[in-house]
Amino acid sequence: LEEILYHDEL
Amino acid sequence: MNIFRLAGDMTHLLSILVLLLKIYATKSCSGISRKTQELYAIVFVARYLDLFTDFISVYNTFMKVVFIASSLAIVWCMRFHPMVRRSYDRELDTFRHYFLVGASFALALILHEKFTVQEIFWAFSIYLEAVAILPQLVLLQRSGNVDNLTGQYIFFLGAYRAFYILNWIYRYLTEPHFTRWIACVSGVVQTALYADFFYYYFISWKNNSKLKLPA
C-alpha cells in the first residue's frame, strides 16, 4: 500500500 | 487529499485554461515560450507513466489525462496551427532548454527514491518542472511587457506550487511517515524562481499599472 500511495499527488 | 492540494491542482488547471483561452481567443501565442510548453509536456508524460498501471482515484486519473492532453495540445498549436505559429516570438525564445532536460535527467539518475525506470522518470519530471518556467521568464524579461493573460497564466502557475508547499507542510504535520524530500525541495526551488515575478506582479497590481519587468 505504501508503494501505491506514494505518488498520490499530481 | 487536503484543501491545499485541491487548491493547488485547481490553480494549476486554471493556469492551463487561461493559457488555452489566450491562444484560442486571440489566435496568438506572442509572449508565450514554446520551449516552456514543450518542457511541461515532457514533465507530464514522464511523470504519469503510471497512468495505466496505478489507479489511485477517478480524480487523479482524470487530471493526469487533462494535463497531458492540454500540454500536448498547446505545443501542437504553437507548432502547427497556421495562425498561432505565426505569432510565436521565435527570436526571443532562445533559451537552450535541452540543457534543462539533460541536467534534470542526470540529477534523477543520481537522486531518486528507487532505481527503477518509473521512479527515475518521476524524479526527472519533478526536477524538470522546477526549472521548466525559465525559458518563459527569460522571454518575458526580453520582451519587457507582459499582457494580462500571460501575467495571469504565470501567476496561477506560481500559486499552484506555493499551495503544494502548504500541502506538504500539512501532510508532514498530519501524516506520521510522510517524507517526500525530492518533491519538497524541488517545489521550493520552483516557487522561489517565481518570487521576482510575483514581486513585480504585485507592484503592478498595487499601482494598477501595466506589468513591466526590468530588462
Residue B47 forms part of a structural domain? yes
Mean pLDDT split into 10-residue runs, chain B, 215 residues:
97 97 95 97 97 92 98 97 95 96 98 94 97 96 88 94 96 88 95 90 86 78
pLDDT band at A3 (very low <50, low <70, confident <90, very high): very low
Grid cell locating B82: 497556421
ipTM of the complex: 0.84
Residue B145: φ, ψ to 5°: -95, 150
Provide the pLDDT for residue B158. Answer: 94
Contact assessment for residue B43 and residue B121, using Cβ atoms and an 8 Å cutoff: no
Largest CA distance in chain B: 53
Q: CB–CB of A4 and B183 under 8 A? A: no
Residue B119 forms part of a structural domain? yes
Domain count, chain B: 1
Spatial distance between the Cα atoms of B70 and B74, rounded to a whole number of angstroms? 6
Angle formed by the axes of helices B181-206 and B134-143, nearest 10°: 20
Q: Does A9 touch chain B (CB under 8 A)?
A: yes
Residue B215 forms part of a structural domain? no
Bridge partners for B38 per DSSP: none
Provide the pLDDT for residue B101. Answer: 98
Q: CB–CB of A9 and B183 under 8 A? A: yes
Residue B91 forms part of a structural domain? yes
Q: Which of A4, A9, A10 sits opposite B54 (nearest CB)?
A: A4
Most A CBs within 10 Å: which of B44, B45, B56, as the mutation test of the A interface? B56
- Give yes or no for residue A2 having a pLDDT over 60: no
Provide the pLDDT for residue A6. Answer: 64
Q: CB–CB of A10 and B63 under 8 A? A: yes
Cα–Cα separations (whole angstroms), residue B123 to B69, B77, B90, B111, B198:
21, 28, 30, 8, 26
Contacts of B150 by beta carbon, 8 Å cutoff, 6+ apart: B22, B31, B32, B140
The whole domain housing B110 covers 3-207
